[in-house]
């Protein structure tokens, strides 16, 4: 059976793969799994539910709330709030379950459902599998006074913004452009930066349910670049639809480097170590090594970054895509928090963002997707020999990475080299070998 849960919850086209019926069934199953774990001393367990601005989030929210309450959970409706805001309030309100209805940076027709456990942390694979196994099973429904109560929450954005404000000092004197992607941070993002004293030019902050991520936000940086130049801003940041990631005119690796150096200088970078994924640019690794900072790499996906951070007690991790996790303040990636902390570094050093980010000299990186191949056979002897040959040619000046897709018959070939032409040539040569050796049929 194909698993419902991917690396970041259950996603699909709203009212296509992801129906109200599936949302209800998932929520019932999640509630039943949590209730079966016990520890409630006769009280009903509590869930909080938040969503981004997609119009489909309205009917999916009602389905999720109905499923949870019908299974005996009390539910607090947060309405529109960023994913890290849901995580924060799951923890602060002592909830047993947090639910985020969002498809992050995906286009508007998509949506998703993500569950968070106590403390606002992502569920592990075993719990997600247990939820899938409960779907469609017969169960004894609570009746009468045993069903859950549903309550709207009055101040989710204000409380989340208050938390963000407490993480930083004054940003007075800095002018910032913030691209809110017409998403969940359209209210919270500008409020948080203004509360810290920055002058904020908010763009793409007028959600209508249909325009989330539409030509804006972290996947479309041109509007941000234009606005920064137009207003002569000190910095610009682009969030995605649920605001758990942040990019600037500099990329996620450079943002991670800026924050790693800031935490190291403050004595708050545990073991002088930062966690990143295998997709981080070699230039980032070299810059960190030169600064005396160890880089621990994981598979792609913020859940794997989080697992490594928890295992080692590390305080900073992230992805090239802009997910940055600062465990002192958050249990998940938080784009607004990231922007605040980068601005704090600018304020404390008096440096421009471009100068701070200049510590990382990015190597040209080329990614080639090879479709219609057997992704389970990347250990093919001749393919491995071809990879070794390219690695020998690159030496310490570049690297090669083969990444089988987790869901499609596809292998990704990534090459970094001193020149773009060199990286492209090596990637194309390897892609040809992948196609020849792993072709289906």
* Domain chopping of the chain, boundaries: 10-154, 159-357, 365-438
Bridge partners of 297, per DSSP, are: 276
In this prediction the pTM is 0.93
- Residue whose entry in the numeric block shows the structure tokens 């032409």: 421
Q: Mind listing the pLDDT tens digit of every residue in the chain (441 residues)?
A: 568 988 789 999 999 999 999 999 999 999 999 877 766 666 789 999 999 999 999 999 999 999 999 999 999 999 999 999 999 999 999 999 999 999 999 999 999 999 999 999 988 889 999 999 999 888 899 999 999 999 999 999 999 999 999 999 999 999 999 999 999 999 999 999 999 999 999 999 999 999 999 999 999 999 999 999 999 999 999 999 999 999 998 889 999 999 999 999 999 999 999 999 999 999 999 999 999 999 999 998 888 999 999 999 999 999 998 999 999 999 999 999 999 999 999 999 999 999 999 999 999 999 999 999 999 999 999 999 999 999 999 999 999 999 998 778 999 999 999 999 999 999 999 999 999 999 987
What are the residue numbers of the active site? 104
Q: Which CATH architecture has domain 365-438?
A: 2-Layer Sandwich (3.30)
Query: What count of residues does the chain have?
Result: 441
pLDDT of residue 3: 81
Retrieve residue 323's tokens: 């997910």
Contact call for residues 164 and 336 (beta carbons, < 8 A): yes
Report CA torsion sign: 7, 8, 9, 12: negative
Question: Which residues lie below 8 Å from residue 373, measured CB to CB, with a gap of 6+?
Answer: 409, 410, 411, 434, 435, 438, 439, 440
Report CA torsion sign: 354, 355, 357, 360: positive
3-state secondary structure at position 360? coil
pLDDT of residue 438: 94
Contact call for residues 317 and 275 (beta carbons, < 8 A): yes
Whether 159-357 and 10-154 are alike in CATH topology: the answer is yes
Angle of CA points 116, 37, 117, to nearest 5°: 10
Neighbours of 373 (CB within 10 A): 22
User: Which CATH superfamily is 159-357 part of?
Assistant: Alpha-D-Glucose-1,6-Bisphosphate, subunit A, domain 3 (3.40.120.10)
pLDDT of residue 332: 94
Contact call for residues 71 and 22 (beta carbons, < 8 A): no
- Residue whose entry in the numeric block shows the structure tokens 């990879």: 387
pLDDT of residue 242: 97
State whether CATH 3.40.120.10 applies to domain 10-154.
yes
pLDDT of residue 1: 52
pLDDT of residue 37: 72
């Amino acid at each position: 059976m194909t698993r419902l849960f991917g690396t970041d919850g259950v996603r699909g086209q709203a009212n296509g793969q992801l129906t109200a019926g599936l949302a209800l069934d998932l929520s019932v199953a999640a509630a039943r799994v949590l209730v079966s774990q016990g520890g409630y001393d006769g009280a009903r367990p509590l869930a909080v539910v938040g969503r981004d601005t997609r119009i489909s989030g309205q009917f999916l929210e009602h389905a999720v709330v109905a499923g949870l309450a019908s299974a005996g959970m009390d539910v607090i409706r947060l309405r529109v709030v960023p994913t890290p805001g849901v995580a924060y309030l799951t923890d602060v309100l002592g909830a047993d379950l947090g639910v985020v209805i969002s498809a992050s940076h995906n286009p508007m027709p998509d949506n998703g459902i993500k569950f968070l456990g106590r403390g606002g942390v992502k569920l592990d694979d075993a719990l997600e599998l247990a939820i899938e196994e409960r779907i469609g099973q017969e169960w004894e429904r609570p009746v009468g006074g045993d069903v859950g109560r549903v309550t709207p929450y009055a101040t989710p954005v204000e409380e989340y913004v208050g938390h963000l404000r407490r993480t930083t000092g004054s940003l007075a004197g800095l002018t910032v452009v913030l691209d809110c992607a017409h998403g969940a941070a359209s209210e919270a993002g500008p409020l948080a930066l203004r509360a810290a004293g920055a002058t904020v030019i908010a763009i793409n902050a007028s959600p209508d349910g249909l325009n989330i991520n539409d030509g804006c936000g972290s996947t479309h940086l041109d509007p941000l670049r234009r606005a920064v130049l137009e207003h002569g801003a000190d910095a610009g940041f682009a969030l995605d639809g649920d605001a758990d990631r942040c990019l600037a005119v500099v990329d996620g690796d450079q943002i991670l480097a800026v924050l790693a150096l800031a935490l190291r200088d403050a004595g708050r970078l545990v073991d002088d170590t930062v966690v990143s994924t295998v997709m981080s640019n070699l230039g980032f690794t070299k810059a960190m090594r030169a600064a005396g900072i160890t880089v621990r790499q994981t598979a792609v996906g913020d859940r794997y970054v989080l697992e490594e951070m928890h295992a080692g007690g590390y305080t900073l991790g992230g992805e090239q895509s802009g997910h940055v996790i600062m465990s002192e303040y958050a249990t998940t990636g938080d784009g607004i928090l990231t922007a605040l902390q980068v601005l704090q570094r600018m304020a404390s050093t008096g440096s421009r963002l471009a100068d701070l980010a200049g510590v990382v000299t990015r190597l040209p990186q080329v990614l080639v997707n090879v479709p219609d191949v057997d992704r389970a056979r990347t250990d093919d002897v001749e393919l491995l020999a071809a990879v070794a040959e390219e690695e020998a040619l690159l030496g310490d000046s570049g690297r090669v990475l083969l990444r089988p897709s987790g869901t499609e018959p596809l292998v990704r070939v990534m090459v970094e080299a001193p020149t773009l032409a060199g990286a492209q040539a090596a990637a194309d040569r390897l892609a040809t070998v992948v196609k020849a050796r792993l072709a289906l049929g």
